[in-house]
């Protein structure tokens, strides 16, 4: 009699599948769209959620704030400059004999005003010029020098009078009366204002710098047309090269 052999049946695969289904459900959720697609007819192409955004959200990353705009550096407002003589009928040369400077020809008594805001440096109310000498230090006769807030010294001489209250250390504004055109000092009996631009240098030998070290004509041209050309850079460059040297033996003349 044939013995009945025991046939081993394989274990059912169903329990394994049942175990795998939760894992598949979880894995599939990571790639599913969480945002609804745009409505039909909107013209948009839906590309699903952003992987980068999803990663940031899952990591709890905060959206970075936009960087602040750089603060611009402050800009210096140019000082106002005005023509030193208040008159329409004036004339001046682009050059001057022996050294940089300008003679502004106008009627005696014409107002002379401050070129810019600043502080009065020197005032001469006495005409000490003597043809017998010394030539130079007193050639200007009655004069006023102003240190502008731009660091430039502005000098006017041969005045007939210096305005009241114009003394060393006094603050003045552009256009303020300093004196009047005259012919004191070595003016050769011609009414005019000698005008000089220079750095601030002080001392008994300073007269030859004070009378002018840079040519004023192009600045006067600008101010007469109500422009505002500034001589500070040129004056600073001159002083950087020369400093405040003493007068040479044959400086001659003077305004």
> What average pLDDT does range 144-165 have in this prediction?
98
* pLDDT (0 to 100) of residue 204: 63
* pTM summary value: 0.70
Q: How confident is the model at residue 18 (pLDDT cuts 50, 70, 90)?
A: very low
pLDDT in tens, 193-220: 999 999 999 776 789 999 999 999 999 9
Say if CB 116 and CB 173 are below 8 A apart. no
3-state SS assignment for residue 89: coil
- For CA atoms 157, 195, 104, 214, the dihedral sign is positive
Given 1.10.3720.10, 2.40.110.10, 2.70.70.10, 3.30.310.50, which CATH number is that of 91-242? 2.70.70.10
Q: Give 155 or 55, the one with higher predicted confidence.
A: 155
Write down the H helix ranges in the chain. Answer: 14-30, 51-59, 207-210, 217-224, 232-242
* pLDDT (0 to 100) of residue 48: 40
> What average pLDDT does range 9-15 have in this prediction?
47
* pLDDT (0 to 100) of residue 95: 86
> What average pLDDT does range 27-50 have in this prediction?
39
- What does the longest C-alpha to C-alpha distance in the chain come to? 166
Say if CB 155 and CB 199 are below 8 A apart. no
103 forms beta bridges with 194
CA nearest 118: which of 98, 144, 137, 92?
Answer: 144
Per-domain boundaries in the chain:
91-242
> What average pLDDT does range 39-48 have in this prediction?
38
Whole-angstrom Cα distance, residue 112 to residue 102? 14
């Amino acid at each position: 009699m044939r013995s009945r052999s025991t046939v081993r049946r394989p274990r059912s695969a169903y329990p394994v599948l049942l175990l795998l289904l939760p894992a598949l459900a979880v894995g599939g959720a990571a790639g599913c769209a969480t945002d609804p697609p745009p409505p039909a007819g909107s013209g948009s192409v839906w590309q699903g959620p952003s992987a980068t955004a999803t990663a940031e959200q899952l990591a709890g990353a905060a959206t970075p704030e936009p960087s602040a705009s750089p603060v611009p550096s402050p800009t210096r407002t140019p000082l106002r400059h005005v023509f030193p003589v208040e008159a329409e009928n004036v004339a001046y040369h682009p050059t001057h004999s022996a050294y940089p400077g300008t003679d502004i020809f106008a009627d005696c008594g014409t107002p002379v005003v401050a070129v810019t805001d600043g502080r009065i440096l020197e005032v001469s109310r006495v005409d000490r010029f003597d043809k017998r000498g010394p030539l130079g230090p007193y050639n200007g006769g009655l004069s006023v020098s102003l240190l502008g807030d731009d660091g430039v010294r502005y000098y006017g001489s041969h005045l007939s009078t210096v305005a009241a209250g114009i003394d060393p250390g006094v603050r003045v504004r552009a256009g303020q009366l300093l004196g009047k055109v005259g012919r004191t000092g070595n003016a050769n009996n011609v009414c005019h204002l000698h005008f000089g631009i220079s750095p601030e240098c002080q001392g008994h030998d300073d007269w030859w710098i004070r009378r002018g070290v840079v040519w004023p004509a192009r600045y006067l041209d600008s101010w007469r047309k109500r422009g505002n050309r500034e001589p500070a850079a040129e004056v600073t460059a001159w002083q950087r090269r020369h400093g405040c040297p003493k007068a040479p033996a044959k400086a001659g003349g003077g305004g």
